[in-house]
Amino acid sequence: MAGGGFDAPEAGGGKGNKHKQKKGAGVRIDMTPMVDVIMLLLTFFMLTTTLAAPQLMKISLPKGDTKDKVKVDMGNVLYVRCSDIGNVYFSDGKSDGSETELKKIELKNVATELEKLFAKNNNLLLLLKFDRKMKYNIMADIFDEISRAKIEKRYAFLKMEEADVQKVTQAGG
């Protein structure tokens, strides 16, 4: 019988056979196309990741020259202070330069409180003061709440001084 079993000994008995049986050729996979595909994929991912611009929050800071200073009526100022643990406090500025007592606002209510305050005074300017020890995501959440509020967005960043830290601590931290 011809070519039925590759493993079976040749017909006619195995004792007198002087020819040794040759093993069949192994299966060989050509890896060249796979290497080409891998190189193309590697090149594609390298180019697309280096060309993608990172998604960052862009903040333009002024140079701080004396000619850049703007005079503002302190009666149109709302101080927004955030403690290191994420508590948010509002206080209204007064025309004489002082301010009202700090009022604690829940983070989820910041947008609605801003809308209420802007309904009373449309010329309000937000002065944002953040504690340096607070987590960045809390600041981003406050920005999200400010952008959710249906108000004209006018705000400035100020350094949180030691007096501000004391006020926040007295109000409950």
Longest CA–CA separation in the chain, Å: 121
Domain boundaries, the chain: 74-171
Closest C-alpha among 110, 155, 157 to residue 132: 157
Give yes or no for residue 111 having a pLDDT over 60. yes
pLDDT bucket at 13, cuts 50 / 70 / 90: low
The position carrying tokens 């025309």 is: 95
pLDDT value for 9: 56
Supply the DSSP string of 23-77, one letter for each residue. Answer: PPPPP----HHHHHHHHHHHHHHHHHHHHSPP-----PPP---GGG-----GGGE
**79: which residues sit within 8 A by CB, 6+ positions away?**
89, 90, 91, 92, 93, 99, 127, 129
Could you tell me if 134 and 154 are in contact, meaning their C-beta atoms sit under 8 angstroms apart?
Answer: no
Q: What is the mean pLDDT of the chain?
A: 79
Give yes or no for residue 70 having a pLDDT over 70. no
pLDDT value for 49: 79
Q: pTM of whole model > 0.75?
A: no
**Phi/psi of residue 156, each to 5°?**
-140, 155
pLDDT value for 96: 83
For the domain made up of 74-171, the CATH class stated in words is alpha beta
pLDDT tens string 33-54:
899 999 999 999 888 876 666 6
Rounded to an integer, what distance in angstroms lies between the CA atom of residue 28 and that of residue 53?
A: 44
pLDDT bucket at 93, cuts 50 / 70 / 90: confident
Could you tell me if 62 and 70 are in contact, meaning their C-beta atoms sit under 8 angstroms apart?
Answer: no
